[in-house]
């Protein structure tokens, strides 16, 4: 398993990590947002003074083969070799695409992830999944390739807007469902809207509340990362129990891909949140997940994430997208479901009628 370090001093931690990784050239990949908001924290560091900076467009719209080819081109023109090192500074799009670029350039060079969004801290940057979207399908092309190190610096969360905080928190809810009741209860009790407001509207009178809420969130991030690390260590290539991390994602990826197709793209975590509604309902029907707990989670999601409006006319397209999910075998739609908190049921198949019933539950407001 790669090394995941949570640090309050990103400059010192990165200096130490770079000293521990032999490399002939250093490259730093950002998107245009993290270049402006996060890269300045690394400015004037002797360890990165000679680094070449590669900047790509932000948002999932740039997680494409064209952008990947651009990164390969910049690495080649910058003299990168398989002994070079790439630092990915950004959200999940940057760490996914940058990890894939590093893992395939010259048949593989080392890379370090510095996640700057909540989503990438607790999910995308950890675990070694890399890739790009292709032909309208989420993460269709990629490889398993672990970063040398992941450096998590939670003060980066102050650079986020409310939507991106909520997006990452959905993956934390998933980890709570996979771990234990106490952790899930603390996540459902957290005042997410108050934190979002305090961060989105910084002011002296809100600073104390924001600092306290961010400290609580940082502690929850640590717990969430440990949940994912434990699963990945047991099953690094998703042959068994790592499929647990797909909870909410079969339906969620369909929502995400369909939203892009419709020109009203969802952030990944919002799509996962809506996927959790669907798949917890399916868990109630198929594997005995407690209805009362399902409704508690659904209420939290409805209050903090709103909804992505669909009609029954959208069902066929969403079902078709689910049939293309990478987890499927023999053409069947494969879900990870729960019998209860931490009672994980992988490889649960559902047919078209069951999926349409699940979408009915989602659409009718539960």
Active site residue 138: no
319 and 248: one domain?
A: yes
| Residue from 261, 315, 318, 320 nearest 133 by CA | 261
pLDDT at 2: 61
Active site residue 242: yes
**Confidence class of residue 1 from pLDDT cuts 50, 70 and 90?**
very low
| 246 carries an active-site annotation | yes
Is 303 among the residues known to form the active site?
no
Residues 65 and 200 in one domain: no
The active-site residue, picked from 55, 113, 238, 243, is 238
pLDDT exceeding 70 applies to what percent of the chain?
98
The 10 Å Cβ neighbour count of residue 171 is 28
308 and 359 belong to one structural domain? yes
In this structure, is the dihedral angle defined by the CA atoms of residues 120, 128, 49 and 10, taken in order, positive or negative? positive
For residue 316, the surrounding DSSP H or E stretch is: helix 315-323
Residue 201 pLDDT exceeds 80 = no
8-state DSSP, 248: T
pLDDT in tens, 142-186: 999 999 999 999 999 888 899 999 999 999 999 999 999 999 999
Q: Are residues 186 and 259 in the same domain?
A: no
**Which one of the listed residues 175, 183, 228, 243 is annotated catalytic?**
228
Do residues 316 and 228 share a domain?
no
- If pLDDT is split at 50, 70 and 90, which confidence band does 330 have? low
Answer whether 0.75 is exceeded by the pTM.
yes
Reference 26, options 16, 18, 34; nearest CA is 18
Q: Same domain, yes or no, for 18 and 146?
A: yes
CATH code of the domain in which 127 resides: 3.40.50.1970
Four-residue CA torsion sign, 166, 172, 176, 182: negative
Fill in the DSSP letter of residue 342: T
pLDDT per residue as tens digits for the range 280-315: 999 999 999 999 999 999 999 999 999 999 999 999
The active-site residue, picked from 113, 139, 246, 334, is: 246
* Cα–Cα distance for residue pair 98/86, rounded to 1 Å: 8
Confidence of residue 198 (pLDDT cuts 50, 70, 90): confident
What backbone phi and psi angles, to 5 degrees, belong to 114? -120, 90
Residues 7 and 154 in one domain: yes
Q: What is the Cα–Cα distance from 133 to 300, expressed in whole angstroms?
A: 29
Tokens representing 236 are 């690094």
Query: Is 83 annotated in the active site?
Result: no
Catalytic position from the list 77, 107, 135, 364: 107
**Strand 85-90 relative to strand 110-115, pairing:** parallel
Residue 197: active-site member: no
Domain boundary among 159, 193, 215: 159
Whether residues 144 and 262 share a domain: the answer is no
- Measure the CA–CA gap between 14 and 83, rounded to whole angstroms: 18
Q: Which residues contact 200 (CB under 8 A, 6 or more apart)?
A: 161, 162
Element housing 149 (H / E): strand 149-152
Task: List phi, psi (to 5°) of 136.
Answer: 80, 5
Instruction: Single out the residue in 114, 136, 159 at which a domain terminates.
Output: 159
CA dihedral for 74, 76, 77, 81, sign (positive or negative): positive
113-142: average pLDDT:
92
| Count of domains observed in the chain | 3
Task: Provide mean pLDDT across the span 59-85.
Answer: 96
Active site residue 243: no
Is position 279 annotated as part of the catalytic site? Answer: no
Final residue belonging to a domain, choices 130, 159, 188: 159
Q: 317 lies in which domain range? A: 241-363
Say if residue 224 is in the same domain as residue 195: yes
Set 129, 153, 175, 345: catalytic member: 129
Same domain, 108 and 197: no
- 279, pLDDT greater than 80: yes
Average model confidence (pLDDT) for the chain?
A: 93
pLDDT in tens, 94-118: 999 999 999 999 999 999 999 999 9
66 in the same domain as 127: yes
Which of 269, 28, 316, 243 has its CA nearest to residue 138? Answer: 269
Q: How far apart are the C-alpha atoms of 269 and 349, rounded to whole Å?
A: 24
pLDDT digits 0-9 by tens, 221-268: 999 999 999 999 888 888 899 999 999 999 999 999 999 999 999 999
CA distance 119 to 280: 21
The dihedral sign for the CA sequence 262, 264, 266, 267: positive
User: H-helix or E-strand containing 189?
Assistant: helix 181-189
Q: Which of 55, 171, 256, 279 is catalytic?
A: 171
Active-site residue, 304 included: no
Query: In this structure, what CATH number is given to the domain that contains residue 357?
Result: 1.20.1090.10
Same domain? 99 vs 209: no
């Amino acid at each position: 398993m790669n090394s995941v370090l949570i640090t309050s001093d990103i400059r010192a931690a990165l200096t130490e990590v770079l000293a521990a990784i032999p490399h002939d050239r250093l490259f730093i990949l950002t998107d245009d947002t993290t270049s402006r908001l996060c890269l300045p924290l690394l400015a004037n560091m002797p360890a990165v003074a000679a680094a070449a900076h590669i900047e790509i467009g932000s948002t999932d719209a740039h997680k494409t083969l064209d952008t990947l080819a651009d990164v390969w081109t910049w690495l080649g023109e910058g003299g990168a070799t398989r002994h070079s090192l790439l630092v990915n500074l950004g959200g999940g799009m940057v760490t996914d695409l940058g990890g894939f670029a590093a893992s395939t350039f010259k048949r593989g060079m080392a890379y370090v992830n510095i996640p700057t969004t909540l989503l990438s801290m607790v999910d995308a940057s950890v675990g070694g999944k890399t890739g790009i979207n292709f032909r309208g399908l989420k993460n269709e092309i990629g490889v398993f390739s672990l970063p040398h190190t992941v450096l998590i610096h939670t003060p980066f969360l102050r650079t986020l807007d409310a939507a991106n905080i909520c997006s990452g928190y959905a993956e934390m809810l998933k980890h709570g469902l996979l771990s234990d009741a106490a952790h899930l209860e603390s996540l459902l009790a957290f005042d997410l809207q108050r934190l979002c407001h305090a961060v989105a509207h910084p002011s002296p009178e809100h600073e104390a509340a924001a600092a306290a809420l961010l400290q609580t969130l940082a502690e929850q991030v640590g717990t969430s990362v440990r949940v994912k690390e434990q699963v990945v260590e047991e099953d690094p290539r998703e042959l068994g129990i790592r499929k647990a991390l797909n909870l909410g994602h079969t339906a969620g990826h369909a929502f995400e891909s369909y939203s892009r197709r419709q020109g009203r793209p969802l952030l990944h975590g919002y799509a996962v949140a809506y996927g959790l509604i669907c798949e917890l309902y399916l868990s109630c029907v198929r594997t005995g997940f407690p209805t009362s707990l399902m409704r508690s989670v659904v209420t939290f999601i409805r209050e903090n994430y709103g909804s992505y409006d669909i009609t029954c006319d959208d069902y066929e397209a969403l079902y078709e997208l689910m049939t293309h999910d990478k987890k499927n075998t023999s053409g069947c739609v494969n879900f990870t479901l729960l019998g209860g908190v931490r009672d994980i049921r992988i490889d649960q198949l559902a047919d078209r009628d069951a999926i349409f019933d699940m979408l009915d539950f989602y659409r009718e407001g539960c």
